[in-house]
């Protein structure tokens, strides 16, 4: 997790969509911040400014600590928009995405049995085009559609 580029001989996956060049670095930085937040608070960050700012601070601290440990470790300049969107939706449980990840995990388990070779790098699933452009009211409605 400290150095995703070294996880395979080719580094992080090549971005098939060049309009998203470098997005996997941004998503990995958000992942570092979210994991640090969960470790510190035992919960995922909520969709508020305080949690987003603290997650950003934790991500920067984690990358700085990793960089001090070794020059080869992961570091990047964080784009606020990408980072904020990742943190805002980190506490959500979105069923279609959970099903997508479940399919990938099942496929990788089957590959691990020996016939095919499993993934040996990070997979960051980027679907920002599906997010609403305007602010959305996400207060619980006390029904089955709540996160």
CA–CA gap between residue 75 and residue 59 (Å, rounded): 10
pLDDT digits (tens, 9 = 90+) for 103-124: 988 888 888 787 777 766 777 7
Give the CB-side neighbour count of residue 128, counting CA atoms within 13 A.
16
> Within this chain, do residues 88 and 24 fall inside the same structural domain, yes or no?
yes
CA–CA gap between residue 84 and residue 133 (Å, rounded): 13
Domain span including residue 79 = 20-92
Q: Is residue 113 part of a domain?
A: yes
pLDDT digits (tens, 9 = 90+) for 51-74: 999 999 999 998 888 777 776 667
> Within this chain, do residues 115 and 70 fall inside the same structural domain, yes or no?
no
pTM for this entry: 0.71
* Number of separate domains in the chain: 2
Q: Is residue 6 part of a domain?
A: no
Report the candidate in 78, 76, 77, 74 with the shortest Cα–Cα distance to residue 2: 74
């Amino acid at each position: 997790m400290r150095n995703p580029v070294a996880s395979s001989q080719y580094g992080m996956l090549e971005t098939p969509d060049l309009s998203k060049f470098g997005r996997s670095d941004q998503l990995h930085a958000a992942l570092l911040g979210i994991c640090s937040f969960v470790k510190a608070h035992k919960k995922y960050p909520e969709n508020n400014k305080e949690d987003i700012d603290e997650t950003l601070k934790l991500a920067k601290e984690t990358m700085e600590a990793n960089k001090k440990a070794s020059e080869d470790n992961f570091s990047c300049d964080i784009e606020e928009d990408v980072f904020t969107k990742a943190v805002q939706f980190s506490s959500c449980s979105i069923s279609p995405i959970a099903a997508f990840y479940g399919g990938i995990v099942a496929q990788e388990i089957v590959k691990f049995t020996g016939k095919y070779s499993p993934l040996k790098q990070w997979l960051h699933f980027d679907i920002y085009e599906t997010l609403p452009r305007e602010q959305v009211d996400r207060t619980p409605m006390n029904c089955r559609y709540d996160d």
